[in-house]
Amino acid sequence: MNKMILGLTPLVLAACSPLAGHETSERILVPHSGDMVPVRYVAPAYPTAAREKGTDGWVLVEFTVSEEGIPENVQVVESEPDDLFDQAAIDATNQLVYMPKIKNGRLVAVSGVQYRFIFSRDGVAE
């Protein structure tokens, strides 16, 4: 099993597997100046009450991505049905990691980032 280590410097976010003698994968993720790109996604937990009722839904969240690529100030913008999936979406958003944005050679926070989580009847959340 490979162990992932995340390190952040002002210039590079790196994810690597340093285990000698094991299959490894290395990625160097350089901060960018374009759209926000998630580098770690965590699927939300499908709420038991929704699964038991066979309920579909979605949640649109909005947040700021910090200079380190971490979501902050997560808020639900809209959801259907109201409130049923909100906490699962907030919890999943708080576990996302984004590639930091660079502007004029400096890491910057980005506000107004939105992400829509979709919850389907078969219990799969995306």
Domain-located, residue 68: yes
Please report whether residue 105 resides in a domain. yes
Distance CA 92, CA 32 (A): 23
Q: Return all residues near 34 (Cβ < 8 A) that are at least 6 apart.
A: none
> pLDDT tens-digit profile of 46-97?
999 888 888 999 999 999 999 999 999 999 999 999 999 999 999 999 999 9
In a domain, 126, yes or no: no
The better pLDDT of the pair 35, 91 is held by: 91
Mean pLDDT over residues 7-36, rounded? 39
Closest CA to 117 of 70, 74, 65, 64: 74
pLDDT confidence band for 38 (50 / 70 / 90): confident
Q: Which value, to the nearest 10 degrees, does the dihedral of the CA atoms of residues 29, 108, 105, 96 take?
A: 0
| CATH number of domain containing 45 | 3.30.2420.10
Bridging pattern class, strands 26-29 and 13-16: antiparallel
Q: Could you give the number of structural domains in the chain?
A: 1
Tell me if 94 is assigned to some domain. Answer: yes
Task: Answer whether residue 49 is part of any domain.
Answer: yes
Give SS3 for 90. helix
Query: Structure tokens of 110?
Result: 């980005």
pLDDT score, position 26: 37
Dist CA 62 CA 116 (whole Å) = 9
Mean pLDDT, all residues of the chain: 75
Write out the residue range of the structural domain in which residue 52 sits.
33-119
Q: Report if residue 103 sits inside a domain.
A: yes
Q: Can you give the pLDDT at residue 42?
A: 87
pLDDT band at 120 (very low <50, low <70, confident <90, very high): confident
pLDDT band at 34 (very low <50, low <70, confident <90, very high): low
Is 92 a member of any domain? yes
Task: Report yes or no on 9 lying in a domain.
Answer: no
- From 31, 29, 8, 27, select the one nearest 108 (Cα to Cα): 31
98 versus 22: the higher-pLDDT residue is 98
